[in-house]
Amino acid sequence: MTIRADLSSAVGRTPLLRLRHASALTGCDVLGKAEFLNPGGSIKDRTALGLILDAEHTGALRPGGVIVEGTAGNTGIGLALIGGSRGYRSVIFMPDTQSREKIDALRVAGAQVRLVPAVPFKDPRHYVHIARAYAESLNETSPGSAWFGNQFDNVANRDWHEATTGVEIWEQTEGRVDGFVCSSGTGGTLAGVGRALKARKPGVKIALSDPTGSALASYINRGELLAEGNSISEGIGSSRITANFEDAPIDLAWSIDDQESVPLLHRLLREEGWCVGGSSGVNLAGAIRLAQTLGPGHTIVTVLSDAGTRYQAKLFNPAFLRGKGIPVPDWLEQAFTG
C-alpha cells in the first residue's frame, strides 16, 4: 500500500508522456514531463517545495512565519499551498498583467495577493523588489517573522530540480535521454535538469526554448541581452541573467513566436487530450526543433509545465487569438459560435 503522508510528499514523481504528433513528425521519441499533475497544478510546486525545505533547514523560515514572494503566479500557488500545509501564511506580489485564473487560484490557495504594475526589473516598483522590501519591513518590526523566497536568485531552486526533476527524467528514460529542452523563467528547471543530465551523460544536449520578447536566446547565441518581439506566454522569458540561470549548461537556444507555439498546444489538446499552458507550447516547439536538429531515433524530453485552464481567457479565446494574429483552429471557433 502506497500512502503519501502530506501535500509535500505528493510533489514530483510525475509521469513522462509520449507526445504522438511531435514524435511522428520528427522520428524521435518526444516525451513531456507531466508537471501539470503536481498538487498545485504546475512545475512550480517543485520550486516552492525546494525553497521551503532549504529555508527551514537554514532557519530562514521559522514556525508560524510569513512567506513573501514575487511571482507571475505558479510559484506563489505552490508556496501558498505547501506553506499553508506546513503552518505558514503567504503574501504574494505579482504583475497585474497575469491571467485572472492564476490570480483567483492564488486567492483560493489562501495567499494574500498584492497586484503591482508590470515594469522592467530595473524599476524599483518591479514585483520582485517590492516583495523583498515588504519582507524586510516585516523583519524590521518583528525580526525573523518573514522569509523572502527569492525564487529567481535563490539557487536552492536550481539545486532542487537537479536533485529531483533531473534524476526522475534520467531514471524514467533509463538513461537513454539524448536531449532536454525547456523555457526559462527563473532558470531553475533548465539549469537543474541540465546539470543532472550532463553529470550522468556529458553528451546529452540541453536547449533553451525562449519566447519572443525574451532576451535569453540572444544571450546564449550572441552573448548579448537583446529582446525582440513579444509573446502572450506568462511566467517565462527574462531580460536579465538570474543566479539560477547563470552557468546553466545550455548547448542550443531558439526564439519561439506565438504563431509557432500556440497552434502546437491547440493540436496537443484536440488530438491527444493534454490541456496545457502557453509555456508548454513554447517547450514543445523547442522539443521539435531539438529533435529535428539531432535527427530521427533520439529521445527528447521537455516539460508540460502547467494546465491550459489557467489561461483560458487567452489561449482558448478566439477573439483574443485573432487580435494577436494567432491562428484559431476550426474546432475552437465552432465551440464558441455553436
- Which residues are known to be catalytic? 44
For the record, the C-alpha cell of 124 comes out as 524599483
Query: What are 32's three cell numbers?
Result: 513531456
User: Which DSSP letter does residue 307 get?
Assistant: B
Amino acid at 284: L
CA distance 327 to 338: 19
**What spatial distance separates the first Cα and last Cα of the chain, rounded to whole Å?**
47
Give all strands of the β-sheet with 146-148 in edge-to-edge order: 112-116, 89-95, 66-70, 146-148
Pairing of strands 89-95, 66-70: parallel
Q: Are 237 and 211 in contact (CB under 8 A)?
A: yes
**Going by C-beta distance under 8 Å and a sequence separation of 6 or more, which residues neighbour residue 247?**
191
Instruction: Give Cβ neighbours of residue 89 (< 8 Å, ≥ 6 apart).
Output: 66, 67, 83, 110, 112
* Residue 268 DSSP label: I
Cell numbers 516552492 label which residue? 48
